[in-house]
Structure 1
């Protein structure tokens, strides 16, 4: 009878997935939720909801399918919130957009034509939009140096040296250094106010046209194109072929559950999926699901203490937290830029998408990510139309 209890290797893999998944980007999530209008307590509630939702999803999906299903929050989606203009209607309107985006993910899983529509968006334009979303935060490490030279350079140095030695630990260690700086410089009375446990806070959603188009639609696109679809691809590369539609719908369902408490999106992991599905997780492919199950348990534990983590990082100048977030997103930014500019035929359209998105321009209360995709798509259609006319 095969062993069903996780081995030490499964446990270490699960803990590493949890550490990288949560530690490398939770600052991005907090900044994104606050950027969308959340109060400190609402941001803590949102972070907790995301952790609990993705933890339960990882456990259920891994155990039921006997496959290493890694889950995550939408880091590109959080970056979209952090760099976008304040939404009309406040955080209540943002939560309404979260619900709409989650519903679209559910529908994409249930109805294959909708998945095909998302897949039909040229990857060069999707990558360019993602690059434009990430660019603002990736500039933060440089912008932090003039105002906080010692702290910023120390964080960057730890990240760079660790990246040379052990890539997956670079951002978590940079975050540890940042936490150390907070503890060193914070007033003891501020630290005394920290509460270990997080209280959920229900947000009554409101639905506005500007939030639907400016947040829900771009959030849906980047979550599907940058997380869910690549997550399925990583599993396939490693020999696992789950029903993608069912997993999309499951992710959308957990996003629906997390949204009223401030969580923006739960999805399949793209980066940590490779950690859970590869040989380093377990020599036996049939036992690798135990590692992702352990990662789900880690997310549940982190969710309980999400409030303390949220309050703790608000004690440091925001630019330093943004700097750590920017360091975490340099790799995804490089990948997005490469994907956007790889094909000469779509390069100009992709750059238009990137420039409009990164400009942050807002029309009709709708942010630059949507208009970037529209501008790039229109230019690409024009170029293909002219080419067809000539031929």
Structure 2
């Protein structure tokens, strides 16, 4: 279990790596998934003002909840908007009035608050065998690791430069490898005039309140699917990311705080936010800092960057989204190599669960999508089924770590 940082002042050289890890996670999130929010807003026919309000609400909400949780528990608890939820809304908002969708967001958020207070989600997380959890994480992240090299087909110079720089930096200064490739990549893109910042103007975003409306149709067609998709596709793998890297904060306050944040921000357009999974792994693993007790700084940094983007609205998000796709995928993949390798090693460590872990890894990497539910859920279901068949039953619940000085878990 990671120790809490001492009361002494954290040295300046301990700040660079986790801060950059937080920045990279934010860049990857905006550059890789935020386009879904714009697509959903376009489908819903939202005005530029309502679209900017949606962005403001998810960015501010994600930033503040991540800040609060990371500061309170001294762990890198990074939150994010629900990516599978946004993908779902691309189709759902085509037939649902926006005011009713806002009402559905409120219902979904209320359900998450109730789930966090009940304490049942944490009990489920503790029952998952460690090898299965590690294999699930490795499978989810595999495509990002492959993406670090796949972009070489279309952009060989950029990808080749980042890979060579990463390997050399890992050899001579491992702590600053991700910092280095971020700076080198940005300098390379600027030198080639591939990031146009000439028209950048910082404009404050203005939140727009929408009076929610409630209907049975929106409850069944938006609120319920949004709750289930976010729970299985974001919360579950997000908690496993934290557990895999040794962080033990109970899921209950995390679900409660993010649920409350979603509830407050829903009238301004926020569909849902939750503990992050893939982008969180950038800040929770050894690439962020070799000392786990220093990685919480990455959670604080990510929260600050999210709030800044939210305050300045669509303008700064447009900067992140202006980066070439190959830069985003290569940066994310290289930043996650340590987590992928560690997860695979942990998954294969126990001979009694090795085959079930392998099945979990492959099923998760296959990214099965059935019944509107994504690959993380089905990978976990298939892996647990294999584990129970091969080993007889699930192991008993793991012991609850000491929570002295923390908020009550339930």
Same fold (TM over 0.5): yes
| 1:52 equivalent in structure 2 | 60
Equivalent-residue separation in structure 2 for 1:279 and 1:215 (angstroms)? 27
1:18 matched to 2:19: yes
- Which residue number in structure 2 is paired with residue 225 of structure 1? 240
User: Are residue 354 (structure 1) and residue 361 (structure 2) matched?
Assistant: yes
Q: Aligned to 2:330, what secondary structure does the other structure show?
A: helix
Name the count of aligned residue pairs: 359
Contact residue 49 and residue 263 of structure 1 kept, 8 A: no
Query: Do 2:134 and 2:346's aligned partners in 1 also have CA atoms closer than 8 Å?
Result: yes
Moved more, 298-307 or 349-358: 298-307
For the Cα contact (< 8 Å) 1:89–1:208, is it kept in 2? no
Alpha-carbon distance change, 20 to 99 in structure 1, aligned in 2, over 3 angstroms = farther
Distance 1:384 1:245, change over 3 A: same
Provide Cα deviations, 1:1-42, integer angstroms capped at 9, x if missing partner.
xxxxx9974777567543321224531453133357557999
8 Å Cα contact 1:54-1:296 kept in structure 2: yes
- Correspondence for 2:274 among 254, 265, 269: 265
**Rounded Cα–Cα distance in structure 2 between residues aligned with 1:172 and 1:305:** 25
Deviations 1:249-306 (A, max 9, x none): 224433555674366424697745998996986xxxxxx9999878855653455457
Kept in 2, the 8 Å contact 1:313–1:321? The answer is: no
Contact 2:107 2:223 in 1 (8 A): no
Report the Cα distance in structure 2 between the residues aligned to 1:367 and 1:62, rounded to whole angstroms: 27
Structure 1 residues without counterparts, runs of 5 or longer:
1-5, 237-241, 282-287, 387-391
Deviates more, 1:366-375 or 1:299-308: 299-308
Q: Displacement, 1:336?
A: 2.1
Query: What's the CA shift string for 1:39-73, capped at 9, x where partnerless?
Result: 7999987776565335434655677x6x6354423
Task: Give the match's secondary structure for 1:265.
Answer: strand
- What CA distance in whole angstroms lies between the structure 2 residues aligned with 1:289 and 1:140? 27
The alpha carbon displacement at 1:116 in A equals 0.8
In structure 2, the residue matched to 1:384 is 391
Question: Which of residues 176, 181, 184 is equivalent to 1:169?
Answer: 176
Identify the match of residue 332 of structure 1 among 339, 344, 365: 339
Of 262-271 and 162-171, deviating more is: 262-271
Matches of residues 1-391 of structure 1 in structure 2 within 5 Å? 9=10, 17-34=18-35, 37=39, 49=57, 52-53=60-61, 55-57=63-65, 60=68, 68=74, 70-73=76-79, 87=88, 89-90=90-91, 106-186=113-193, 190-197=196-203, 199=205, 207=222, 212-227=227-242, 229=243, 234=247, 245-257=252-264, 260-261=269-270, 264-266=273-275, 271=283, 297=304, 300-301=307-308, 303-304=310-311, 307-385=314-392
Bigger fraction of residues in helix: 1
Q: In 2, distance between residues paired with 1:98 and 1:335?
A: 36
2:78 counterpart SS class = strand
Structure 2, unaligned runs of 5 or more = 1-6, 43-47, 95-100, 213-217, 394-410
The DSSP-based 3-state class of the residue aligned with 1:345 is helix
CA shift in 2, pair 1:264/1:184, >3 Å = farther
Deviations 1:302-333 (A, max 9, x none): 55457444323433432332111111221221
For the residues of structure 2 that align with 1:11 and 1:209, how far apart are their CA atoms?
46
Q: Distance in 2 between matches of 1:48 and 1:374?
A: 35
**Which range moves more in the overlay, 265-274 or 152-161?**
265-274
Kindly provide the CA deviation profile for residues 171-229 of structure 1, in whole angstroms up to 9, marking residues without a partner as x.
233233333344334478x53333434636779996176655455313121122223x5
After superposition, the Cα gap between the structure-2 partners of 1:216 and 1:358, relative to the gap in structure 1 and judged at 3 Å, is same
Q: RMSD across aligned C-alpha pairs, in angstroms?
A: 4.8
Provide TM-score, normalisation by structure 1.
Answer: 0.69
